[in-house]
Amino acid sequence: MTEKYDSGNDREEAEFETGRYAAVSDGAGEIVVYDTENSAAWLKSDAAVAVAEMK
């Protein structure tokens, strides 16, 4: 059986850098998550999960 992550990185132990990223609703039921330091880095989804729920 494999672990949560198959790669050899430390994603499970790493703290999330929450101050750098932000999310906003577009009013149509979708969420835009973006990097506050890089205007070209963003994604849009119709579903979102809080970081605390992923642990």
Rounded Cα–Cα distance for residues 32 and 45 (Å): 7
Q: What is the model's pLDDT at position 48?
A: 79
3-state secondary structure of 53: helix
Query: Does residue 12 fall inside a structural domain?
Result: no
Domain containing residue 32:
21-54
pTM for the structure as a whole: 0.52
Query: Does residue 10 fall inside a structural domain?
Result: no
Query: Does residue 35 fall inside a structural domain?
Result: yes
Per the model's pLDDT, the better-predicted residue between 40 and 11 turns out to be 40
Query: Does residue 40 fall inside a structural domain?
Result: yes
Query: Does residue 13 fall inside a structural domain?
Result: no
Q: What is the model's pLDDT at position 19?
A: 81
Residue 24 scores a pLDDT above 80? yes
3-state secondary structure of 52: helix
